[in-house]
Amino acid sequence: MSLAPPDADARRAVAPVICYPVESLPQPDMALYTAARQTLTKVDEVTVPPRDAATFSVPAGHFFRITSIEGPQVGDLNLWHAADLTERFYSGKTRALHGSHITTGQRMWSSFPGLRPMATITHDSLGWYGKDAFGGSVHDVIGTRCDPYTHNLLAGGQYHYCCHSNLTRALARHLDVPVAQAEPHVHDVLNVFMCTGFTRDTGQYFMKASPVRPGDYLEFVAEIDLLGALSACPGGDCSSEHSSDVAACHPLLVEVFAPAAGALDAWGPPRPNGYDRSHGA
Ligand SMILES: [Zn+2]
């Protein structure tokens, strides 16, 4: 045990400072999106089977909705810029900008050097949940995705239907490439509908039964042309375990909607980040 300095209590009492003040973060025009989402027409849909994943495409300025349809189910979401898969969802930076869980008005940000909004949440039917007594909340950007490597490390064996593998297979099918070529594109996810937090005493990542009910949905507007992949996690509602075939699993529905012509005329896709990339060299 390390020795505390005499002023340990005073040091602990220093008030925290928010790392990234939201006041300087470019804000989405939610009034415009709210008006546009009243005009939506469905143009596509895909059902994600349990313990599997599926891809979907959303043009910039279209909306997409992930809906729980048969029973409580958590979804692991990957997003890529459709024209360049190296620009992909950056879970860690999204967490730094918005916090551990995201909801209406917050965004999924892309990796460097793009660092721009890929999608903005326009409706969250679980917005009522807030934060529970354990510090848990829904739609986290703290977990990574369940994967067969961690499963092998902790439990041994070969399990092939973790979200990481499901996303890998779905992307491989979409790109028509071997799984080994698709796998490096799979990245840390947005845990849709998952209820998670950190334990107060040990700071460990925890999960608990998702409050999601059939009909609940999370809706986004695509800020840039997107390729998405969604896995219906083998953990089901993630109330007990994942990385196995034990939990009850349900499908998820992804729907893509077009707004009425002119509804987003005042909007334009965000440009890639303005940093010149010379890095002082
Ligand atoms: Zn999973």
- Model pLDDT, residue 24: 85
| Average per-residue pLDDT for the chain | 95
- Going by pLDDT thresholds of 50, 70 and 90, the confidence category of residue 167 is very high
Which residue type sits at 108?
A: M
Ligand 1 mean position to 190 CA, how many Å? Answer: 11
Q: What is the pLDDT of residues 129-138, one digit of tens each?
A: 999 999 999 9
Question: What is the end-to-end Cα distance of the chain in Å, rounded?
Answer: 43
Ligand 1 mean position to 234 CA, how many Å? Answer: 6
- Model pLDDT, residue 238: 86
- Model pLDDT, residue 88: 98
Q: Cα–Cα distance between 213 and 69 in angstroms, integer?
A: 8
- Model pLDDT, residue 22: 80
Ligand 1 mean position to 166 CA, how many Å? Answer: 9
Write out the DSSP string of 211-233: ---TT-EEEEEESS-EEEEEEE-
Q: Cα–Cα distance between 158 and 161 in angstroms, integer?
A: 10
- Model pLDDT, residue 216: 98
Ligand 1 mean position to 244 CA, how many Å? Answer: 10
Task: Decide: 2 and 8 in contact? Cβ < 8 Å.
Answer: no
Give me the mean pLDDT over the 102-117 stretch. 98
Q: What is the pLDDT of residues 44-81, one digit of tens each?
A: 999 999 999 999 999 999 999 999 999 999 999 999 99
Task: Decide: 90 and 116 in contact? Cβ < 8 Å.
Answer: no
Ligand 1 mean position to 180 CA, how many Å? Answer: 19
Nearest to 212 by CA among 134, 133, 138: 138
Give me the mean pLDDT over the 86-93 stretch. 98
- Going by pLDDT thresholds of 50, 70 and 90, the confidence category of residue 154 is very high
Q: Cα–Cα distance between 119 and 109 in angstroms, integer?
A: 7
Q: Cα–Cα distance between 158 and 255 in angstroms, integer?
A: 33
Domain map (residue ranges) of the chain: 48-219+231-258
- Model pLDDT, residue 133: 94
- Model pLDDT, residue 266: 95
Q: What is the pLDDT of residues 179-231, one digit of tens each?
A: 999 999 999 999 999 999 999 899 999 999 999 999 999 999 999 999 999 99
Q: What is the pLDDT of residues 225-256, one digit of tens each?
A: 999 999 999 999 888 877 778 889 999 999 99
Ligand 1 mean position to 13 CA, how many Å? Answer: 38
Ligand 1 mean position to 267 CA, how many Å? Answer: 34
- Going by pLDDT thresholds of 50, 70 and 90, the confidence category of residue 18 is confident
Q: Cα–Cα distance between 220 and 54 in angstroms, integer?
A: 17
| In the chain, % of residues over pLDDT 70 | 100
